[in-house]
Structure 1
Amino acid sequence: MTDQATPVQQTPVQIAHLRKVLGGRAVLDDLSLTLRAGEIAALLGPNGAGKTTLIGCVLGLLSPDGGSVRLWGEEAASLRAETRARIGFVPQTMTGFTWFRVGELMAYLAQYRARPDDAEDRTWEEWAALDPRARIKTLSGGERQRLAIVLALRFGPDLIVLDEPVASLDPQARYDFMRLLPAYARRTGASVLISSHIISDLQDIGDRFVMMRHGRIMLDMTAPEIAATVRRLSAPPEARWDVEVIADQGAEGIWVRGWHPALDEAAAGAGHTMLPGDVERLFLALTR
């Protein structure tokens, strides 16, 4: 009797030593990142950090000048059609298709991508609340962004890539979207890579926070890891504490990682003021 090997679950996104040069400048420099199944990774960075370029490489829209990007084990630049159909992408702004009506565009694209088994699930259409008869050219910026989100997610993707998806949404639509997205990921096991400048939104939904600056990853940690092992001290740590300084803001404090509860008493005894890790303040310290 011949043993049958159990199929290996491929990692949704595996980036190794990625390098991308644009205009003679290394926009991405030796960047490595893994996104696991069912994980929501928040991609943070100031303008020019390389977030959009990274997303372009993940989607196969840009070719690496070094390293590799693989989605479920396949090179991102040469995915099979059935693999590409597993991806939903929301750009910063939706362009094109302006001559279509909303309903016409949805029907047109449905000819090329099958709906998931639960085809009656109209969560995203109901959230977007768009008039199917409206011409796309008449939609506001926020309405077009809601349409882009619907077009990316209504087909049940296994990998969702979002580049600043909520910047043009009104507060209620943004709040509802940030509630629906993690619920979708939990329900389906989809992986999410989301870039946004609105850090407060991502703090609530991110499993991991990937902080970029000048084309490099400055920090890649889960929310519990940041809370448990990152501290801001009022003065440099003592060498015997064996912690890593990750940002020195001078009078504003020293950020360290590798903290553990046993150090609390030692820090207090040395006269240190100590504050717990905070995603937004840590991001600002690392990227200024």
Structure 2
Amino acid sequence: MVEPVPPCTIQGLVKQYGAKQALNAVSLTLQAGEIAALLGPNGAGKTTLIGCLLGFLSADTGHIHLFGEDINSLTPQTRNRIGFVPQTMTGLTWFKVGELLTYLAGYRAANTPQDNRWLQWADLDPQARVKSLSGGERQRLAIVLALRFCPDLIVLDEPVASLDPQARYDFMQLLPDYARAHGATVLISSHIISDLEKICDQFIIMQKGHIKLTLSHTMLHEHIRLLSAAPPTDWGLIPLAPGLNGGIWVSGWHTALTENAAQAGITASMPDIENLFLALSK
């Protein structure tokens, strides 16, 4: 049986700006239908990675394949399968909203499927000029432009930073529903980590140009713990980082260790991705 081609495969990506290495041998695979969070402090390399992934930047070495095609030679059909939401929408400001939607729809085949829930969610006046929209309204428009035609790979760079709380909440409800309905793969970078823990299947934590840790939602909740003290070495746990307020984050936890911890007077706390991320970023 032939294995399906992953929507996104990155191998050994290196990007240097003078003496600064923005990406250091980054490798990553995203599977169909997966929602992955790209986390990291400012300067970790997230924006550079997204730029290379979308072909906006050229890596010095390494390979990127989207749906099996090299990033430098994507066919128009594959490009139409990709949606991108930048942190801030710029350009095309002379259009009216309705005109812009119609204009860009002209680049699609007439039978291209549409998901008009995004138009309903955005609730924009089609007669309004793009230049007259508020920051939040422009961001809603950017999301509509990226997702309306049902892309199979969606890359979002801080998509909710300028949205009001209700719009952000509704977006975070719609996005996983969309991904499940269409089998779409999502890579989302955001500093609002509490939103991501609710919807993501995988967490990719970057630091200083490399991926420090990749873990699934299942692994996070079943095998990561914050211990109140360092465990004995014979427990076989892997130290990850000191806790922000004491203790230590470890990987490799399993339920058989619960009794051992109780006997040793060590408390094992359930994880949350925000505190783990902050500890790893120290």
TM-score, with normalisation over the residues of structure 1?
A: 0.94
Letter in 2 for 1:77: N
- Kept in 1, the 8 Å contact 2:112–2:149? The answer is no
Give the Cα–Cα distance (whole angstroms) in 1 for the partners of residues 178 and 2 of structure 2: 25
Give the Cα–Cα distance (whole angstroms) in 2 for the partners of residues 115 and 55 of structure 1: 30
- What 5-or-longer segments of structure 1 have no aligned partner? 1-5
Q: 1:31 — aligned with what?
A: 26
Asked if 1:175 is matched to 2:169, the reply is yes
Aligned residues: 282
Classify 1:78/1:24 alpha carbon distance in 2 versus 1 (closer, same or farther; 3 Å).
Answer: farther
Letter in 1 for 2:69: E
Q: 1:132 — aligned with what?
A: 126
- Kept in 2, the 8 Å contact 1:234–1:251? The answer is no
Q: 1:68 — aligned with what?
A: 63
Q: 1:156 — aligned with what?
A: 150
Q: 1:269 — aligned with what?
A: 263
Give the Cα–Cα distance (whole angstroms) in 2 for the partners of residues 222 and 80 of structure 1: 31
One of 5, 14, 20 as aligned partner of 1:19:
14
Q: Bigger CA drift: 143-152 or 227-236?
A: 227-236
Shift of the alpha carbon at 1:77?
2.3
Shift of the alpha carbon at 1:118?
4.4
Give the Cα–Cα distance (whole angstroms) in 1 for the partners of residues 193 and 253 of structure 2: 24
Q: Percent identity?
A: 61
Q: 3-state SS of the aligned residue for 2:222?
A: helix
- What 5-or-longer segments of structure 2 have no aligned partner? none
Matches within 5 A, 1:41-190: 41-114=36-109, 118-119=113-114, 121-190=115-184
Shift of the alpha carbon at 1:250?
7.6
- Kept in 1, the 8 Å contact 2:113–2:149? The answer is no
- Kept in 2, the 8 Å contact 1:49–1:212? The answer is yes
- Kept in 2, the 8 Å contact 1:232–1:255? The answer is yes
Shift of the alpha carbon at 1:43?
0.8
Give the Cα–Cα distance (whole angstroms) in 2 for the partners of residues 115 and 273 of structure 1: 60
Q: Bigger CA drift: 100-109 or 61-70?
A: 61-70
- Kept in 2, the 8 Å contact 1:35–1:191? The answer is yes
Give the Cα–Cα distance (whole angstroms) in 2 for the partners of residues 50 and 140 of structure 1: 29
Classify 1:250/1:166 alpha carbon distance in 2 versus 1 (closer, same or farther; 3 Å).
Answer: closer
